[in-house]
Amino acid sequence: MAKSLSPIINNSQALKRKPIVETKADQVKELRVAGHSFREIASMLGLEDEHEAYKLFVGLMVISAKSTAHEMEYIHMSRLEEMHNAVWDNARNGDERAIAIALKILEQQRAIIGQPKEGLQDIEDEKKELMRMLGLPIEAKDT
């Protein structure tokens, strides 16, 4: 007969995985999430006062937010790069639709990295410059 797993499943401590190195800030976060006040946390962890516990908590939250933002930027930039790669050969061969899409993708990448739009040429001038860089003929538009 198979052994019962209920003692393991019912033991919530066995299901919790702790990091190998847990900082004071991590401990403060865990205790705060568990509902303890900053004063209680300071006392439990031997901190100077509740302000120190609060600073550790807020510092960890700021680091987490920045880390998440950087991860999202990386994901978005990777996706845009894949899209750009998908249209690049057609853009290089003079496909105007692919060129327009490539320029839109570059515009999105600029937005993510915070490059300002001031001083940038309008889309037609950018298209002509890209075509010139690629050595493609530039068609004159009738006006």
Q: Report CA 95 to chain centroid distance, whole Å.
A: 32
pLDDT: which is higher, 18 or 24: 24
Q: Report CA 139 to chain centroid distance, whole Å.
A: 40
Where along the chain do its domains lie?
A: 20-133
Token digits of residue 87: 């249209």
- Whole-structure pTM value: 0.45
Collapsing DSSP to helix, strand or coil, 72 comes out as: helix
Which residue, chain included where needed, has tokens 């705060």?
32
In tens, the pLDDT along 91-140 reads: 999 898 999 899 999 888 888 887 766 545 556 666 677 777 777 777 65
The one-letter code for the residue type at 28 is V
Closest C-alpha to 70, from 101, 114, 104: 114
pLDDT beyond 90 at 61:
no
What is the separation, in whole angstroms, between the first and last Cα of the chain?
A: 88
